[in-house]
């Protein structure tokens, strides 16, 4: 029964039908290893104190009281969350966990009928990070080249515990509210993320007991558990590195020679035949980005073909987000780039490790979801931040060197972080004061020291992200 349900759920995912944030068999989840050993999983200490680092230096939990046996139990339980197997796939790809093939069986897509809400404010829909695949391989290219196919997978990797973290340089981060809901008390759950370098800065509402930890794996996916000591709903403030949302920076250096995974030479050959023969890294990435964005969101043409699916996609320039992300990842890996595929229940995109030493999001488009069409007013509501309105009260006469107080009243829900700014009559910012909201109605009066000012009119205002 569990295997049958697993096959059904994997089929749903590959056909782009909307599923839950954690799409797997509920019964299998309840019978997971953690459910058997949850009584032993709560021996850690409280990691709630602020820290300058988001994760411990060791590969395991930071608590010295957490035994290797308990940590192994946690690792196994969380891997059950990110493992998806079907009998057909299992035979073909040597039991790699949570695999996604690009073969003759996956050229189908079905737009989900139910709109999806982001757990974040401002929304990041549809770019929430739920799953990451960092392995690429090609199967059957020796036995039958016409049926060769690419698959991606997520490798098993160690977990590290993470703690609530105070951000020392807020200007380098974007801040979000995260509203997490939990359905399975007593177990572990993936926490949707905004960026690989993401920090949990504060628990705003809800309850997390000391025995419950936040976790992170080497693919920068976050987890929480055990959930028996967590409220069904929690609100957290999180901070994400702004550089993740910037455009990639690749130097125009020669493409290195070498083989990066088994069968990658046939990928490079296909690129040379259908896209171009590239000699520099920047030219390759820029050209591929433009090439995949020119695709049509249509299925491949019907009929038999002597070419593998991935080559037909390159020739016909058709495919949804899943096809583009898998193939883009496979191509750049074949040329020596560090890249991985990221996806959730509605969209697939990629993350490229650029020459600035950072992961950046590279979205190739191709989502087939009518509810994120930019002409859809309901989609605009879900993908746009809610407007923030405020009222400032305090001294209206400002003098150089004086101390004054400003009070901020929130007319609408405040953003997770903003600046109180002193501006001149030309709206030039003279001084900024960081504000980390803790209330929905109003903030405690903020004391500010007015800097040396030239004669003129000065006022306070609010600057959001």
Strand-by-strand arrangement of the 418-424 sheet: 429-435, 418-424, 458-463
What residues contact residue 227 under an 8 Å CB cut-off, 6+ apart?
182, 184, 185, 186, 187, 188, 189, 212
Domains along the chain with CATH numbers = 2-99+117-132+155-245 (no CATH), 137-152+246-377 (3.10.620), 390-463 (2.60.40)
pLDDT of residue 383: 56
Give me the DSSP letters along 211-274: T-EEEEETT--EEEE-GGGB-SEEEEEEEEEGGGGSPP----PBPPPS--STTHHHHHHHHHHH
Give residue 375's pLDDT: 47
Mean pLDDT estimate for the chain: 76
d(CA 248, CA 113): 33
Bridge partners of residue 296, in order along the sequence: 318
Q: How do residues 431-459 score in pLDDT, each as one tens digit?
A: 999 999 887 677 778 888 888 888 888 88
Burial class (CB in 10 A: 0-12, 13-18, 19+), 286: middle
Question: Mean pLDDT lowest for which of 89-93, 205-209, 291-295, 416-420?
Answer: 89-93
pLDDT band at 106 (very low <50, low <70, confident <90, very high): low
**Of 198-202, 340-344, 395-399, 444-448, where does mean pLDDT reach its minimum?**
395-399
Encode 424-444 in three state secondary structure: ECCCCEEEEEEECCCCCCECC
Whether the Cβ atoms of residue 149 and residue 156 lie closer than 8 Å to each other:
no
Res 382: pLDDT: 54
Using one digit for the tens of pLDDT, what is the confidence trace for 155-188? 867 788 999 999 999 999 999 999 998 876 667 7
pLDDT digits (tens, 9 = 90+) for 8-63: 333 433 333 222 222 223 233 233 323 333 333 333 333 333 333 333 333 322 22
pTM for the whole thing?
A: 0.75
User: According to the model, what pLDDT value does residue 358 have?
Assistant: 97
Any residues with CB less than 8 A from the CB of 43 and at least 6 apart, and which?
Answer: 63, 65, 66, 67, 70, 211
Strands 339-343 and 131-133, by their bridges, are antiparallel
What pLDDT shows up at residue 52? 38
Tell me: the pLDDT tens digits for 349-378? 999 999 999 999 999 998 866 544 444 445
């Amino acid at each position: 029964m569990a295997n049958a349900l697993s096959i059904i759920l994997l089929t749903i995912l590959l056909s782009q039908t909307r599923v839950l944030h954690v799409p797997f068999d509920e019964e299998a989840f309840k019978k997971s290893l953690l459910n058997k050993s949850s009584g032993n999983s709560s021996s850690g200490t409280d990691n709630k104190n602020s820290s300058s680092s988001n994760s411990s230096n060791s590969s395991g939990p930071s608590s010295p009281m957490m035994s290797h046996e308990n940590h192994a139990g946690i690792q196994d339980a969380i891997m059950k969350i990110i493992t998806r197997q079907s009998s057909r796939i299992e035979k073909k790809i040597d039991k790699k966990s949570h695999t996604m093939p690009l073969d003759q069986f996956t050229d189908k897509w079905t737009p989900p009928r139910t709109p999806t809400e982001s757990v974040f404010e401002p929304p990041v829909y549809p770019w929430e990070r739920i799953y990451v695949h960092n392995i690429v391989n090609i199967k059957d290219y020796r036995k039958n080249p016409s049926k060769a196919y690419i698959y991606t997978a997520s490798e098993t990797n160690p977990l590290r515990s993470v703690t609530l973290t105070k951000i020392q340089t807020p200007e380098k981060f974007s801040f979000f509210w995260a509203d997490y809901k939990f359905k399975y008390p007593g177990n572990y759950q993936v926490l949707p993320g905004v960026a690989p370098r993401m920090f949990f800065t504060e628990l705003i509402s809800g309850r997390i007991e000391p025995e419950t930890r936040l976790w992170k794996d080497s693919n920068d996916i976050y987890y929480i558990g055990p959930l028996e000591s967590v409220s069904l709903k929690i609100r957290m403030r999180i901070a994400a590195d702004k550089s993740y949302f910037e455009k990639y920076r690749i130097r125009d250096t020669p493409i290195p020679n070498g083989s990066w995974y088994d069968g990658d030479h046939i990928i490079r050959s296909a690129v040379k035949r259908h896209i171009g023969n590239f000699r520099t890294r920047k030219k390759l990435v820029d050209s591929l980005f433009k090439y995949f964005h020119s695709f049509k969101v249509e299925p491949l043409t019907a009929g038999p073909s002597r070419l593998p699916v991935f080559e037909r996609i390159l020739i016909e320039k058709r495919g949804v987000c899943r096809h583009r992300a898998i193939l883009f990842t496979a191509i750049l890996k074949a040329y020596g780039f560090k890249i991985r595929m990221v996806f959730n229940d509605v969209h697939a995109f990629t993350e490229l490790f650029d020459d600035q030493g950072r992961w950046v999001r590279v979205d190739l488009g191709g989502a087939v979801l009518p509810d994120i069409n930019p002409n859809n007013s309901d989609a605009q509501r879900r993908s746009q931040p809610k407007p923030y309105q405020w009222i400032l009260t305090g001294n209206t006469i400002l003098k150089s060197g004086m101390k004054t107080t400003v009070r901020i009243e929130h007319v609408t829900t405040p953003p997770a972080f903003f600046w109180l700014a002193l501006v001149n009559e030309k709206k030039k910012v003279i001084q900024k004061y960081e504000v980390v909201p803790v209330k929905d109605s109003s903030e405690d009066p903020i004391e500010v020291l007015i800097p040396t000012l030239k004669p003129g009119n000065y006022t306070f205002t609010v600057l959001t992200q």
